[in-house]
Amino acid sequence: MRLAYLDCFSGVSGDMFLGALVDAGVPATLFEETVAALNLGARVEVSRVTRNGIAATKVDVHANGEKDLPREVFWEQRAKASDVSQSAPLHPHSHSHSADHAHSHEHGHEAGSGPAGVAPHHDHSRGLTEIRKIIGDANISPTAKGTAIRIFETLGTAEAEVHSCPIEQVHFHEVGAIDALVDIVCAAVGAEVLAVDQWICSPLNVGSGTVKCAHGTLPVPAPATLKLLKDAPIYSSGPQVELVTPTGAAIVKTLTARFSDFPPMKIAASGYGAGFRDFPDHPNVLRITVGEALPAHVTASHAESLATSAFPSATEDLATDTITVLEANLDDLSPQILAYAMDRLLTEGALDVFSVPVQMKKNRAGALLAVLAKPEDADRLTKIIFAETTTLGVRRRNEQRRILPRRWETVQTEWGPVRIKVANMNGTVSNYAPEFEDCRRIAAERNVPLKKVMEEAMRKFAANTSNSQ
């Protein structure tokens, strides 16, 4: 099983998560393409920085032509500008150890309110309905869309509870919404590229003190963050600042299967994502470690032998995990509705969905709908099957599967980059295939036959592999 471990000793925010993904091997160009697909007029800037001596990757979002600021910095500057009659609007960044994305309509500010000379920074807002449409219209994979929407809904649910209003009344202010969309959608796309079977998170250092925002001075963790971290292990250490943002907490809550200390694994890659500040006493970074799971009872000597073995056995590379299989027989459902239901199940996080023609009772033609899911997603996906199909019952069982280690590589075709999913056995490539969504997008944009794009991507990967040997 391929694992990713989030080490949150300095908290977690959206931009830190993106930086750690890039540092761990996710192509920065993928985020640039994702932001362009959102059509928001935003862009990302990726740079290398150091935080207390550790080199890390920093990802900044530029919205409306300006680089966003942490909200504490924004409100400090706004206070200093309060006696200036004419001042350009400042834009708070929502994820560099601060987040101020959401507020309900009842907390909205009227135009012209606030300190004199400083324009309000959230004159326009987006609700979840509009955000879902933006994500749905973006040219990214259905799985990434589903993950991004779930993260936003998780964040919106927490804000709705804090403000005691329905989730559809939670609105995200203009600049914060752009920043949140970029961070959350890129997080979903990057997490998919890492091809991780299970995300695990350390206890989270939430920081301490207070944080300034549009609603005044709030305690750390902020109310929405505290809602999101229910049942998660947290602690406070280091500087008196906000270390876990609502967006960072929403990403962790949505992706993480469990919280624990560092799990036994054979490390394949690691990366560090930088926060906004450079603290003097500890590195302000988020670390991601990716690798293959080792048995929970593995000893230190056994782990060392696995890591140094020059000739692994034929099955040593294979990981085992548990999946839930959901099945339903359908004999009175329109093929169009079945196709829609299958697409929605994939978007909502199913590992795989397929249908098989079957002969039902009274010799009626029907279909067997099968859904492969993570056990923690099974209840939610079962509800979708009942909602979107005509079945009256869903069969459910857990099964074991063996998995080849997988990774993503990117090849450059004459029409643009295409991701290749690569599977290994015994240290050598056993299977590889181009990402269909990348090929379909290029075929549509460049008016090139789809099969030609896929063939060219396969040829490029084969050539690159041959040249590297």
d(CA 303, CA 265) in angstroms, rounded, equals 8
d(CA 155, CA 39) in angstroms, rounded, equals 22
Q: Are 184 and 151 in contact (CB under 8 A)?
A: yes
Backbone angles phi, psi at 136, to 5 degrees: -65, -35
Q: Are 21 and 305 in contact (CB under 8 A)?
A: no
d(CA 413, CA 103) in angstroms, rounded, equals 44
DSSP reduced 3-state for 151: helix
Name the nearest CA neighbour of 140 among 38, 48, 216, 209. Answer: 38
What is the rounded radius of gyration, in angstroms, for the C-alpha atoms of the chain? Answer: 24
pLDDT tens digits for range 154-193: 998 988 888 888 887 777 654 457 888 999 999 999 999 9
Q: Tokens standing for 102?
A: 């959401």
Instruction: Give 11's contacts (C-beta < 8 A, 6+ positions apart).
Output: 97, 204, 205, 206, 207, 242, 243, 244, 245, 248, 275, 286
Instruction: Give 92's contacts (C-beta < 8 A, 6+ positions apart).
Output: 68, 69, 70, 71, 73, 74, 75, 98, 100, 121, 175, 176
Q: Is 52 left (phi over 0), alpha (psi -120 to 50) or beta?
A: left
Predicted local confidence at residue 367, as pLDDT: 94
Q: Parallel, antiparallel, or unpaired: how do β-strands 395-403 and 125-127 relate? A: unpaired
Q: Tokens standing for 152?
A: 């936003």
Predicted local confidence at residue 402, as pLDDT: 83
d(CA 182, CA 318) in angstroms, rounded, equals 35
Q: Tokens standing for 64?
A: 């409306």
CATH code, residues 406-468: 3.10.20.300
- Give the alpha-carbon dihedral of 183, 321, 311, 469, to 10 degrees: -40
Q: Mean pLDDT per 10-residue run, the chain (469 residues)?
A: 93 96 95 93 94 94 72 55 45 39 35 35 65 91 92 90 81 65 95 91 92 76 92 90 93 92 92 93 94 67 46 52 92 93 92 93 90 92 95 93 82 91 76 90 93 94 75
- Residue 118 CA, chain-centre distance (Å), reads 34
pLDDT tens digits for range 104-135: 333 333 223 333 333 334 335 678 888 999 99
pTM for the whole structure = 0.66
Predicted local confidence at residue 77, as pLDDT: 56
Within 145-209, strands assigned E span: 170-173, 198-201, 204-205
Predicted local confidence at residue 301, as pLDDT: 47
Ranges of each domain in the chain: 2-291, 319-403, 406-468
d(CA 234, CA 220) in angstroms, rounded, equals 12
Handedness of CA 206, 22, 176, 105 (dihedral sign): negative
d(CA 71, CA 460) in angstroms, rounded, equals 45
Domain 319-403 class in CATH? alpha beta
